[in-house]
Chain A
């Protein structure tokens, strides 16, 4: 048993050290201006740590330095979903979106409200809703046994319902089929094919919502520009 624990510990340490080495070597390449080599290192590490927000953030930085704003936005967004309170992630995402003519905080929404809405990650919010649900259950049990409904039960119930609503809106936003323009210029056409005329050109980094999918084309809406049309799948990076 002791040997097993020792082996597991050693394996864990090796994995941890490997992860840190990757970060160090990739950072060295990044500092030397070898962004594509650094990107490769981070993408390799991503296979081992698919939910590490800092990896997505660093990948976004590499893409940004390579001039691929669209792919940078996509990766910053992935990082933002996992760690919305991180100031660097928020800063880079806001800056890159701004460069593309988009905004992180929708017009008319106070920044403080946006920050509050994204003060917890979806996983944390789900955990909070779970805990509150358990509290509600305990309160119900106590009240049933005591045959008396307390004020505490009411308060917990209200908080739980509010959290559940918050989670609902967050999940709705997370599950929204969003993508970003990943090529320098994408053409928006009136139909799913090159035989339909291009109605507009849109630069990289713009956020779009995917409505439909046909062959190698997506029907999208560009909310910030009030555009709707079809874009080649290769021009988009799903977030």
Chain B
């Protein structure tokens, strides 16, 4: 049961795919023609097999269909059917050939409508002025420049049974501007063996645009013509040339007559050659003024741009294929590649661009170029691919135009697995009710850092270290060298100040005792007068001064311990005496 079902689905799929391969298209060999010309309308069906019914043409009030033919081709197993209708226009103006319907296996297919422009016939009027006959060709002013020029040249060759002419749609194109080149071989008699030699070009790229046939009445003679169309683009400014095209032909219906076939030899007419006139183009450079950065060299009009991203929902680290396609007239192969702008959050890897050409429904070459790049999102989030810009030069408006794509939104989920640690997602199980999905860096700091603290500021004043070192050194120096002399000097000054205030013998005795203690650097309270005298003499005090000191000391002791008179007067004199003696000791002591 399962196998049957599977078989059914496979058959259904095959049937669907067969149906999906049926393709229907319609095109005309020219989209502008004169009233006396003919139009070949071709309907192409591909992907069909077996018996098929003819396509159903729409109502064609503007044309008379006078010929139908069917051509079947099978290439690599694929069959294509060409239904050709040769039609004669009936009215001047725009004529639309509506959709052609085609039914195949119950399905109905339709073509796009095709519009062609029909112009008045050209005429050649002869006027006589001052005895001279002048011919004046009347051409429909609405006729496109290429057709007008070809018609003009054809009238110039009127009367010749065979002639070849060529013309371009614009003789002063811009660099890279696609223009049309038409080469027509007119004939009013039968011919055979007519190999065609296409023109040589310089400073130009030439692309085949196809061929067509038609008829035209020129001064009463009906000519048939074969037309070969090219699209040419100039590579650089300056002069560009299109050499003569050629057709070698033999007049008549066959190369060999029946007599020749039987007996050999040839009675065929001589080979003749029809050559077109060479054409010189003056190629204009593109204006530098107003040229946008997104200009890559395309010239023309009616360009289109479209951007596509696949897929639009990925995980971080997965690739997104982004393609930007530009489409328009001419060959875009020579244009430079689009530069994809850098995009935050993405790594961009541009790929080689592809380009090509295809004939449009109007018979003109349509070029396309596809720029591809792989965008790899680095982190998750919702991103918008920006509008990609692409500019071209519009020769009609003589200005640069810029096209831009629509923005594309891309949703990027966090990466599923780590790429060497870049993705921090960890699969912590739900242990404490919290599941770590991903770890990301902390957010920005939204303000400046606070100013340095006191410690950091202090580090910028190393001079304080030197000051401290100097103070310490000075202290050490002071302690080592200057402390003792200062103490000695300080002892006299202290004693002097105290003696000035002393009012009693006891006070004077205490001041002298303290002074000696400091000077001699030993306690003097327990020393006898004799011992004091010895110490003073050892310190360099003269015997006379020592004698005076001894007298003073004895006097002080007497006043203190055995006063005989009123001590007030003595107490007044003793400090001054003591000061004098201390001065002497100070001066004499080493």
Contacts and interface: CB of A to CB of B under 8 A. Distances in A.
A145 interface: yes
B262 interface: no
A33 B342 CA distance: 12
Given A66-B344, A67-B347, A137 B448 contact: no
Contact of B445 (A58, A130, A203): A58
Interface string B60-101: 000000000000000000000000000000000000000000
Interface stretch (A87-95, A109-117, A208-216): A87-95
Select the residue from A20, A57, A127 with max chain B CB neighbours within 10 A.
A127
A123 B459 contact: yes
A23 B446 contact: yes
A95 B441 contact: yes
A24 B447 CA distance: 8
Nearest to B382: A33
Interface string B419-435: 01110100000000000
Given A65-B378, A123-B459, A130-B459, A54 B424 contact: no
B468 interface: yes
A33 B344 CA distance: 7
A131 B448 contact: no
Contacts of A20: 447-448
A197 B413 CA distance: 40
B454 A127 contact: yes
Chain B interface residue number, banded: 35 or more
A120 B347 CA distance: 39
Given A120-B455, A127-B459, A145-B475, A33 B345 contact: yes
Contacts of B420: 99-101, 203
Contacts of B342: 36
Interface of B is mostly: loop
A35 interface: yes
B565 interface: no
A36 to B, nearest CB: 5
Interface string A78-110: 000011000110011001101111000000000
Contacts of B461: 130
B379 interface: yes
Given A137-B468, A141-B475, A126 B459 contact: yes
Interface string A41-60: 00000000100111101100
B55 to A, nearest CB: 54
B548 to A, nearest CB: 36
A52 B479 contact: no
B448 A134 contact: no
Given A95-B424, A125-B455, A145-B475, 13 more contacts: A23-B447, A34-B344, A55-B449, A65-B378, A67-B345, A92-B441, A100-B420, A101-B420, A127-B457, A130-B458, A130-B464, A144-B476, A144-B479
List the 8 closest pairs (A to B, CB-CB), nearest first: A127-B455, A54-B445, A137-B468, A126-B459, A127-B459, A127-B458, A67-B378, A88-B442
8 contacts: A61-B441, A88-B445, A95-B424, A127-B454, A127-B455, A130-B461, A141-B472, A144-B476
